[in-house]
């Protein structure tokens, strides 16, 4: 914007300067020419009484010599053809019968016929081109220099003015970018014209309101998760009262896992927004751990699990807990929405540009690909949050999620690399 304002002022100033300088340059040329011709006509007027009244050539010759001594090309042609003065001032063609100026090679000749008793004498003064243009080039250079100075000053003023207008806008953009990166304490100092100051004030109010809403939402989520601890404690007591055995041990493990999940939800709800921006984890390790956890249930349901995990770490821009929750959501959907014995596959591969590509595919009935990742949308009677959790996790890492449901279900999470 600053550059465009400067270019606009430059274009406008150029037009104004050209509209002023071009006529001024032409006027200077015409004034110089008129000044030189006026001087030549004055010389002619000086010679007229001498030529008209002199009884002979002696007086005329003295007057012409005076003009020649002044550096002028002066000539008088006597009625009998006698030439007195500079031959270069004599017209090569027929002499006009009235006073006039005639353009010749290299200059202009001022002609004045003079009637005498014995005929007509002709007084001529030749003005060379260099005399006609004397001082014109110097004046043009002065005008050009003045134009350059005015143009430079206009650009400097335009640049300062554009800077004063664009700086507040740039600060607004920088503050909005910081807010987009999760710096909810970012604020802009309102400056510039009244409209831009009003926008800055509105952005500050919006940022404050966003922070208040996020804090309230996270506290509500933490409170709701905390309420689960009471029934969870009762459930643990009931499990502890069961007779010892494999069933009791499994229930104890499930209750412990549920307790850990509730604690993770509370911690996640109270985590600052920016806490996860620089987080990272190894997608290979997290996915392998969660697949091993679900493999026990897969074995009980006679499901074949095909795991293809790339060797070596694949760092992604996510906390390990977030990625684990997304994997659990996807694998939980497989167990919840496909018949027992349905095989599924989990693949983790490097992603072009960094990060990882996670694919969870099964041979079940499939899902509606367009609505499957919409929050709260489900065609199988569930809450519709599982795939949405996976989608938001992928987008939080800088990637995306896609679902294909033509032959079974295939969910692809593109996970971005660490920032």
Going residue by residue through the chain, which has 419 residues, state the pLDDT in tens, using 9 for 90 and above. 778 888 888 889 889 999 989 999 999 999 999 999 998 888 888 888 888 887 777 778 888 888 777 778 888 888 878 888 888 888 877 777 788 888 888 889 899 898 877 788 888 899 998 888 888 899 999 999 999 999 999 999 888 888 888 888 888 888 888 887 778 788 888 888 888 889 889 988 988 888 888 777 777 776 776 677 778 778 878 888 888 888 888 888 888 878 777 777 766 666 655 454 567 899 999 999 999 999 988 998 899 999 999 887 999 998 888 899 899 989 998 998 888 889 999 999 999 888 999 999 998 776 644 444 444 444 444 434 678 889 988 998 889 999 987 678 899 999 999 87
What is the structure's pLDDT at 272?
59
Distances (CA, A) of 176 to 165, 185, 201, 272, 302: 18, 11, 12, 19, 53
Instruction: Give the pLDDT of residue 375.
Output: 43
**d(C-alpha 367, C-alpha 384), whole Å:** 11
| Pair of tokens at residue 260 | 């850990």
Give bridge partners of residue 63 from the DSSP assignment. Answer: none
């Amino acid at each position: 914007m600053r550059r465009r304002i400067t270019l606009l002022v430059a274009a406008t100033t150029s037009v104004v300067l050209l509209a002023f300088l071009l006529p001024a340059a032409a006027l200077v040329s015409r004034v110089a020419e008129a000044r030189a011709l006026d001087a030549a006509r004055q010389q002619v007027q000086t010679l007229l009484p001498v030529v008209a009244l002199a009884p002979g050539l002696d007086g005329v010759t003295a007057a012409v010599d005076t003009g020649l001594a002044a550096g002028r090309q002066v000539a008088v042609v006597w009625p009998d053809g006698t030439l007195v003065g500079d031959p270069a001032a004599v017209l090569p063609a027929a002499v006009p019968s009235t006073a006039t100026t005639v353009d010749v090679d290299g200059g202009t000749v001022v002609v004045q016929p003079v009637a005498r008793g014995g005929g007509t004498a002709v007084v001529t003064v030749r003005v060379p081109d260099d005399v006609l243009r004397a001082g014109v080039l110097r004046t043009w250079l002065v005008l050009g220099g003045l134009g350059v100075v005015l143009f430079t000053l206009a650009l400097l003023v335009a640049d300062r003015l554009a800077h004063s207008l664009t700086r507040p806008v740039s600060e607004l953009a920088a503050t909005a970018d910081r807010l987009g990166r999760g710096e909810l304490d970012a604020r802009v100092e309102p400056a510039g014209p009244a409209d831009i100051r009003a926008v800055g004030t509105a952005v500050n109010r919006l940022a404050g309101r966003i922070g208040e809403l996020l804090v309230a939402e996270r506290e509500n989520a933490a409170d709701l998760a905390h309420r689960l601890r009471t029934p969870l404690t009762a459930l643990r007591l009931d499990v502890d009262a069961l007779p010892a055995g494999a069933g009791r041990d499994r229930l104890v493990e499930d209750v412990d896992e549920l307790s850990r999940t509730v604690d993770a939800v509370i911690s996640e709800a109270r985590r600052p927004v920016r806490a996860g921006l620089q987080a990272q984890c190894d997608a290979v390790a997290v996915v392998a751990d969660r697949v091993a956890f679900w493999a026990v249930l897969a074995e009980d349901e006679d499901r074949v699990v095909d795991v293809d995990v790339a060797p070596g770490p694949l760092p992604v821009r996510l906390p390990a807990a977030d990625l684990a929750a997304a994997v659990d959501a996807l694998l939980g959907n497989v167990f919840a929405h496909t018949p027992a014995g349905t095989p599924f596959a989990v693949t983790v591969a490097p992603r072009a540009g960094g990060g990882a590509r996670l694919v969870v595919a099964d041979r079940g009935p499939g899902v509606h690909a367009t609505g499957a990742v919409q929050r709260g949308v489900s065609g199988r009677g569930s809450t519709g949050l599982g795939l949405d959790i996976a989608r938001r996790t992928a987008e939080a890492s800088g990637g995306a999620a896609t679902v294909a449901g033509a032959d079974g279900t295939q969910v692809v999470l593109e996970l971005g690399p660490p920032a």
